[in-house]
Chains A and B, each alone.
Chain A
């Protein structure tokens, strides 16, 4: 199975900050990398697919980059509604493993 490792596991940031989360795959996955946002008690929401494509309806403050084994999710000008947990997921092969999550908290 492909292992997905996110860093950091948590971070504290202020409204207006730029935040970057990284995700590393244990083997090359091309651009088969997706990012999700999850708020407490809610289902995950797709933000970014294929490493850098913004899902319809998602704020332009979110962006993704990377290929192979190293990927990043960036959030520009952090807003109150962005405080949540973010997960990466590889869709290169099955099982489609998730990273352990990064919790973005208010500083």
Chain B
């Protein structure tokens, strides 16, 4: 079965760090473009980052310099290192796969992991 399972969220103080994980099964992470999307409580979807199959990355301006996307090919797992956390980073974080077509839509999503930034 093709699926993504996130973990690593939790309650963290402002300025703190977390590493979110996204374990894939049924397909190879390194062969795909992998994306992080977040959703603040009661708000819409916000695109966060992408890691391309060649390992290059791109980030939303709101997280650039604080968040880092990476992957471990041996574990078929995607990561999002989130540093210098702020209250406005409180959200459910989803990982998702971009379709291997010209449309680049997000066809496979994880269930999400909640990050709460609060003192």
Contact = CB atoms under 8 A, between A and B. Distances in A.
Interface of A: 1, 32, 34, 36, 38, 42-46, 49-50, 53, 55, 87, 89, 91, 94-101
Nearest to A85: B44
B64 to A, nearest CB: 10
Contacts of A96: 35, 47, 50, 104
Please report whether the interface of chain A is mostly helix, strand, loop or mixed according to DSSP.
Answer: loop
Interface string B48-80: 001000000010110000000000000000000
Contact of A32 (B50, B58, B103): B103
Nearest to A87: B45
A101 B43 CA distance: 9
B87 interface: no
Nearest to A99: B44
A43 B60 contact: no
A98 B50 contact: no
Contacts, number: 67
A41 to B, nearest CB: 9
Interface residues of B, number: 25
Given A43-B111, A49-B99, A96-B50, A91 B105 contact: yes
B1 interface: no
B106 to A, nearest CB: 6
Given A49-B107, A87-B44, A96-B47, 14 more contacts: A1-B61, A36-B45, A36-B106, A42-B111, A43-B96, A43-B111, A49-B101, A49-B103, A50-B101, A50-B102, A91-B103, A96-B104, A98-B45, A101-B44
B103 A50 contact: yes
Interface string B4-39: 000000000000000000000000000000010100
Contact of B47 (A43, A97, A100): A97
The 3 A-B pairs of least Cβ separation, nearest first, read A49-B105, A91-B104, A43-B109
A46 B107 contact: yes
Give the most central of A32, A46, A55, A97: most B CB within 10 Å: A46
Given A32-B103, A87-B44, A95 B94 contact: no
Given A95-B47, A95-B60, A96-B35, A43 B105 contact: no
